[in-house]
Amino acid sequence: MPAIFDGIRVLELGAGAAWPVATRYFADHGATVVKVESATRPDFMRLVQYRKDDPRGLDAQPLYVLMNPNKKNVSINLSHPEGIELALRLVDWADVVAENFSPRAMLKWGLDYPSLRRRKPDLIMVSSCLFGQTGPQREYPGFGGQGAALAGFNHVTGWPDRAAVGPHGTITDSLSPRYVACLVTAALLHRERSGEGQYLDVAQIETGVYSLSEMMVRYAARGEVMTRQGNRCEWAAPHGIYPCRGDDCWIALAVFSDAEWRLLRRLLGNPPFGQDPRFAKVAGRLEHVEELDTFVARSTREQDAFELAERLQRAGIEAGVVQDTE
């Protein structure tokens, strides 16, 4: 059975975490993806955890391998005219050109979209850097850490009485590739129907803002600025991380409805606090959430995390064991 992107050819120019993930979706589903790198300035993901004494060299560093399977690689020096000519021959071959340099780089090499479109009118090209191709800050180079902060993720991550901490990792590096993949797929469908190529400009920060659309809508509608809530949720209680039997063992659980609360109460062995009328309805549980969390923690503390999670999941309650890499 043919893969969905069989026959599609993608030329990838760029580096880092966000871009390889976007093109990986195509490589994993049948497309031929050719990744262009510099031999003197390789993709910096090859250098993460790199050791000089590693006999595998730059080709086997874990993060690079994770993000770039099923691709073909070629080294081209784009500082030389011969290198530009090679890149242009690859453009002639490709259905899609994908790049994530800062805006002036592709223009400097003569590989900007207007130039490539004159050469190949049905070409699909997508650019995705931190600020995108337009606006006063378009030349600012950056990474997902800045993207998370500027989009608003840092402001809503952490505890209400402490400084913002931001999400673990570079979240716009994880979000923006999904938008890129969807947009390129839509552009391929459009070209199939119309014969037209097109240019896609995807600012990584904007994908982060769009992913926080609830924040935007609530501010636009009533001037509300959403902020950090720790592990809590404004419409669910209990909702958090609770201790279990053993050293540093925890379970995450969330109860959204009164029916789920009654189930949780039964699965915890009908502890006395479960009969407290203050906790019978969501509004009461939210009003007395600190006390509720204390009671729930006392009940979960003596239970095996995996066994409890299995019982809760089987009953339809959202729950999961907090695990480490061990």
- For the annotated catalytic residues, the residue numbers are 173
Phi, psi at residue 99, to the nearest 5°? -145, 155
Phi-psi region of 58 (alpha: psi -120 to 50; beta: other; left: phi over 0): alpha
Helix axes 204-211, 144-151, angle to 10 degrees: 40
Which residue do the tokens 């300035």 mark?
41
Rg for the chain, CA atoms, rounded: 25
d(CA 12, CA 91): 10
d(CA 26, CA 16): 17
**Pairing relation of β-strands 239-243 and 250-254?**
antiparallel
d(CA 129, CA 18): 9
Contact 171, 144 (CB under 8 A): yes
d(CA 46, CA 84): 24
Q: Give the closest residue to 123 by CA, choosing from 159, 88, 155.
A: 88
For 72, the 3-state DSSP assignment is strand
Contact 79, 52 (CB under 8 A): no
Helix (H) or strand (E) holding 296: helix 289-300
Task: Please spell the DSSP secondary structure of 125-154, one letter per residue.
Answer: EEE--SS-SSSTTTT----HHHHHHHHTHH
What is the number of H-type helices and E-type strands within the chain? 14, 9
For 36, the 3-state DSSP assignment is strand
